[in-house]
Every structure is written in structure tokens, then in C-alpha cells.
């Protein structure tokens, strides 16, 4: 049997946390050395502006540490327990529920006084984004980049084969089928079908459904959910390509490069991924609003700037966070990382609304800005990851034909409703 690095059961949890000391501390003065953890990687928009921030704020030094996405999650969980968390961290919005519910995030409502860079927080984000930043009525993170879905499609292939750009679900299904039917060889020109909660939620929200009801019980297995999953499964059958874990990362870049994927639903970060990963496809892609079911809708995620409750330099960390949320710094989110900045001031800047040659002269950011206005975050419950797992397993089972959509979601709902709240 394999004998690589093993995670020694009992020892792991204990050793990582046994050295936990005392932490805490108030906001204090905006000075000192702050540690910043960032998962953006090589295209980070944060690291390049540190020198400028330090020049403008000579009493604050920034110690920058980069981690990849997976490492960040592991390390943050460990650091919280060991009271060695940084002063500021980029955290995925899907992690916020757990970290907020366990009390690991500082109360930004108190720290900010309800303002970012001197302006009310409410005036700087779309309604959905403001909801995503709050836990139990208090701000626990400041959205730095956002994720909401739109439809990416190969403009050249659609034009060549006379395929109409879909505006609703019926047209969507027809476009997926025609795309596959006109492929030059089997398995090409497919719609990417990802078996996850994000994509299921796209159809669920559009179908008028919701994930959990007001009392935290499952609501996704009702008629709207079954209809959404059935439709998603039908898209796969009509001409989709199932994109499981074995295919590599969810961006689908290998399939985009070799022609298997010609259409997909995803967030604005894919604009940067496409430009970096498939420069030869410049001018061939277009982005339009996701085809509508009963109503517009998308999940809302992204990256939040969060201050762990254990930070001893909260005021200084918040000052740096505000610096990163200025429009000129927010523009770097698009320019450096190819993602979508979260503040409306940045999203409306001419640099982002100008024609983009990669997308045939369109301005895709406008599409995502519109998507954000109707997008909503996943529910903030402590065991969100367990809820997410139950749903994505149900979606996977239905897409693989292992269960009918109603049974798959019914089983997931039973699991979610049986979770211990605590």
C-alpha cells in the first residue's frame, strides 16, 4: 500500500492545536506590522500596492504571505485554533459562513463605523453584495472581488452554425443540442456541466427556488429544485460534457483548448483565465446574461477581505483593507487578476466598461455587473459545507444517472435536515 505523507489521526488535530495560547485584543491604533495572507497567487492585485500603502501610511508595515487556495483554507483553520491567524486575509465567500458562525471574524460594523474610505458602506456595493458581507446583521467581511454567473459561448461557432444565442431555458436547451449536433467530431462543442452546488443554484434560483428556508431547513428539494436539476440533467443529455473532479480544475481549460467545451456558465474570473490560458481564442468568445428561467438569479460569491478576531492590529488591518477597496486599487483586481472588482464605483469605471478585444469588442463586465444585482449569497449557516456537500452529491448522483432528480434531492434534503446545529 502507499505510504506517503500520512495525516496521523489523533496526533494531527491535537498537535496543531495543543500550542494554542491566548489572543485577542481590541482595534487599537492604526500602526504596527500587519500580516496579510493572500490566495490570489502570481496575479495578485494586493502585493504590488503594498509599497504605495506603506508610503502613505508610514506607521504601518505590511508583512505579505502568499498561499494557494487550498493551502489557505487548511492554514487558516489551523491558525485560528492556534491563535496565529494573520491580521487580514483573503477568504472565499463560501468559507465565511463557517468562520463567521464560529466567531473567528472581527466585527467590521464596529471597526468601520459603517464607512469605507469615509463613505457609507451601503452606497458602495450592490444589494446582494451587502447581504453577502453580513452575518447576523453585522459586517464580517468586505467583498473584494465578486462572482456571479453569466453565459460564455464561442461566438465563432455559434455564427458558423447559425445557432441563436439563448435568452431563456428553452432556447438554452436547443442551443446546447445544436452545438453538439454540428460538432466536427464526436465529443466536441459541448456545454460544460459541472456537478456542484454553484451551478445547481443557478438554475434553482432562476426557477424561483431557494436552498434553505427561514428556519434553516432544506427548501431545495421542492418543485423548483427538482425542475432545476431535471433541466440541468437534460442539458447534459442534450449535448453537455460532464466535468468531474478527474478532469482537473473547474475552469475546464483543457476542454476549452481542445474544443470539447464551447459554452459554459461561470463567473467573471474566467475572463482572465481565458485570456491567460487560451490567447489563441481571442475574439472567439462572448459573454451574455445567463438564460432566464422563471426569473433572473445566480449565486453570489467571490473573495472577502476579513480580519480574524485574534488580530492585534485590527485598526491597521482595516486601514489596509480600505486602501484595497479604493477604485484605483480595485481596478487592479481586473487588470492583474482578471477577476471582477466588487465595489460599484470600480465596476462603473470606463476602464472596465470599455470594449474588450478578447471578447470581440464587447464589454463583459457590464454583463456581470447586471448579474450581481439579482445574485444572492449562499445561506450563512454554521454547517454550510455539510449542506453544500449533501447538495452537490445529490446533483452528481442525478447527473450520473445514479438517482432520479427527485430522489437525489430528497436524500440530500433528509441529510441536511438531520444535521446537528451547533
**Dist. CA 145–CA 91, nearest whole Å:** 11
**Is 417 a residue that touches other proteins (CB under 8 A)?**
no
By the 8 A CB rule, do 206 and 371 touch?
no
Per-residue x/- marks for other proteins, 15-54, CB under 8 A? x-xx-x----------------------------------
Q: How far apart are CA 371 and CA 296, in angstroms?
A: 8
Minimum CB distance to other proteins smaller for 101 or for 142: 101
For residue 318, the minimal CB distance to other proteins (Å) is 20
Cα(45)–Cα(323) distance, rounded to whole angstroms? 12
The alpha carbon of residue 64 and the mean position of all alpha carbons in its chain are separated, in whole angstroms, by 23
| Type and span of the H or E element at 31 | none
Q: Minimum Å distance from CB 28 to other proteins?
A: 20
- Kindly state whether residue 186 participates in binding other proteins, applying the rule CB under 8 A: no
Give least dist CB 293 to other proteins, A.
Answer: 26
- Residue written as grid cell 492604526: 30
Nearer to other proteins, 15 or 164 (CB): 15
CB atoms within 10 A of CB 30: 17
Q: Which is nearer to other proteins, 102 or 168 (CB)?
A: 102
| Cα–Cα–Cα angle for 305, 306, 307, rounded to 5 degrees | 135
Of 72, 383, 391, 416, the one binding other proteins (CB under 8 A) is 383
84 part of the interface to other proteins, by CB under 8 A: no
What is the rounded distance in angstroms from the CA atom of residue 62 to the CA atom of residue 98?
27
Mode of pairing for the β-strands spanning 190-193 and 240-242: parallel
Nearer to other proteins, 23 or 289 (CB): 23
CA distance 373 to 285: 24
Closer of 297 and 308 to other proteins (Cβ) = 308
Task: Give one DSSP letter per residue of 169-207, joined into a string.
Answer: HHHHHHHHHHHHHT-SSTT-SEEEE--SHHHHHHHHHHT
400 binds other proteins (CB under 8 A): yes
Decide: is 386 part of the binding site for other proteins (CB under 8 A): yes
Q: With respect to other proteins, which residue has the nearer C-beta, 106 or 324?
A: 106
Establish if 413 lies at the interface with other proteins (CB under 8 A).
Answer: no
For residue 55, state whether it binds other proteins (rule: CB under 8 A).
no
Q: Which residues pair with 241 in a beta bridge?
A: 192
DSSP 349-387: SHHHHS-BGGGTTB-HHHHHHHHHHHEEPPP--TTHHHH
- Is 64 near other proteins (CB under 8 A)? no
Beta carbons within 8 Å of 232's beta carbon, 6+ residues apart: 193, 199, 200, 203, 395, 399
- Which residue in the set 137, 246, 279, 421 belongs to the binding site for other proteins (CB under 8 A)? 246
Q: Which of these segments, 49-57, 205-213, 327-335, 384-392, binds other proteins (CB under 8 A)? A: 384-392
Quick check: 354 binds other proteins (CB under 8 A)?
no
Grid coordinates given for 79:
491558525
Shorter beta-carbon distance to other proteins: residue 298 or 396 = 396
CA distance 119 to 137: 19
- Least distance from C-beta 392 to other proteins, angstroms? 8
CB of 37 to other proteins, least distance (A): 16
Cβ proximity to other proteins: between 82 and 345 the closer is 82
Instruction: Considering the complex, state which of residue 20 and residue 56 has its C-beta at the smaller distance from other proteins.
Output: 20
- CA dist 48 and 53 (Å) reads 10
Of 10, 21, 214, 355, the one binding other proteins (CB under 8 A) is 10
Residue 35 pairs in a beta bridge with 63
- Residues in region 94-123 near other proteins by CB under 8 A: 98-99, 102-104
Among 189, 336, 374, 396, binds other proteins (CB under 8 A): 396
Count of positions on this chain that bind other proteins (CB under 8 A): 52
Could you say which of 360, 393, 407, 410 contacts other proteins (CB under 8 A)? 393
Cα–Cα–Cα angle for 264, 257, 274, rounded to 5 degrees: 60
Contact pick of 21, 137, 245, 279 for other proteins (by CB under 8 A): 245
Task: Specify the residue, 61 or 83, whose C-beta has the smaller distance to other proteins.
Answer: 83
> Pairing between strand 301-306 and 190-193?
unpaired
| Residue (of 372, 356, 339) closest to 44 by Cα position | 339
Binding residues (CB under 8 A) for other proteins: these are 1-15, 17-18, 20, 73-74, 77, 80-82, 98-99, 102-104, 195, 242, 244-248, 254, 260, 309-310, 383, 385-386, 389, 393, 396-397, 400, 402, 415, 420, 422
Amino acid at each position: 500500500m502507499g505510504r506517503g505523507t500520512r495525516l496521523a489521526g489523533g496526533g494531527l488535530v491535537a498537535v496543531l492545536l495543543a500550542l494554542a495560547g491566548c489572543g485577542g485584543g481590541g482595534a487599537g491604533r492604526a500602526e504596527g506590522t500587519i500580516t496579510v495572507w493572500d490566495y490570489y497567487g502570481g496575479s495578485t492585485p494586493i502585493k504590488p500596492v503594498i509599497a504605495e500603502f506603506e508610503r502613505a501610511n508610514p506607521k504601518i508595515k505590511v508583512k505579505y504571505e502568499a498561499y494557494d487556495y487550498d493551502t489557505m483554507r487548511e492554514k487558516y483553520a489551523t491558525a485560528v485554533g492556534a491563535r496565529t491567524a494573520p491580521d487580514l486575509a483573503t477568504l472565499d465567500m463560501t468559507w465565511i459562513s463557517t468562520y463567521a458562525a464560529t466567531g473567528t471574524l472581527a466585527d467590521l460594523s464596529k471597526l468601520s463605523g459603517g464607512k469605507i474610505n469615509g463613505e457609507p458602506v451601503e452606497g458602495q456595493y450592490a444589494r446582494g453584495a451587502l447581504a453577502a458581507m453580513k452575518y447576523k446583521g453585522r459586517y464580517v467581511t468586505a467583498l473584494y472581488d465578486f462572482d456571479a454567473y453569466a453565459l460564455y459561448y464561442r461566438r465563432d461557432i455559434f455564427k458558423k452554425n447559425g445557432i441563436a444565442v439563448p435568452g431563456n431555458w428553452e432556447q438554452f436547451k436547443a442551443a446546447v443540442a445544436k452545438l453538439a449536433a454540428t460538432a466536427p467530431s464526436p465529443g466536441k462543442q459541448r456545454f460544460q456541466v459541472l456537478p456542484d452546488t454553484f451551478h445547481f443554484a443557478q438554475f434553482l434560483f432562476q426557477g424561483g427556488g431557494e436552498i434553505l428556508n427561514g428556519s434553516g431547513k432544506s427548501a431545495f428539494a421542492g418543485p423548483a429544485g427538482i425542475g432545476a436539476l431535471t433541466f440541468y440533467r437534460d442539458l447534459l443529455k442534450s449535448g453537455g460534457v460532464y466535468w468531474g473532479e478527474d478532469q482537473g480544475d473547474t475552469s475546464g481549460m483543457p476542454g476549452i483548448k481542445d474544443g470539447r467545451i464551447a459554452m459554459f456558465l461561470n463567473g467573471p474570473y474566467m475572463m482572465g483565465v481565458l485570456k491567460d490560458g487560451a490567447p489563441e481564442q481571442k475574439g472567439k468568445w462572448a459573454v451574455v446574461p445567463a438564460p432566464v428561467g422563471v426569473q433572473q438569479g445566480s449565486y453570489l460569491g467571490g473573495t472577502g477581505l476579513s480580519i480574524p478576531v485574534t488580530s492585534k492590529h485590527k485598526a491597521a488591518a482595516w486601514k489596509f483593507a480600505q486602501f484595497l477597496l479604493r477604485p484605483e486599487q480595485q481596478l487592479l483586481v481586473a487588470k492583474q487578476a482578471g477577476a471582477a472588482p466588487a465595489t460599484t464605483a470600480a465596476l462603473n469605471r470606463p476602464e472596465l466598461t470599455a470594449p474588450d478585444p478578447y471578447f470581440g469588442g464587447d464589454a463583459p463586465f457590464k454583463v456581470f455587473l447586471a448579474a450581481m444585482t439579482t445574485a444572492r449569497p449562499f445561506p450563512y449557516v454554521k454547517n454550510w459545507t455539510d449542506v453544500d456537500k449533501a447538495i452537490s452529491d445529490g446533483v452528481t448522483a442525478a447527473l450520473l444517472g445514479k438517482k432520479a432528480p427527485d430522489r437525489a434531492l430528497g436524500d440530500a434534503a433528509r441529510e441536511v435536515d438531520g444535521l446537528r446545529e451547533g
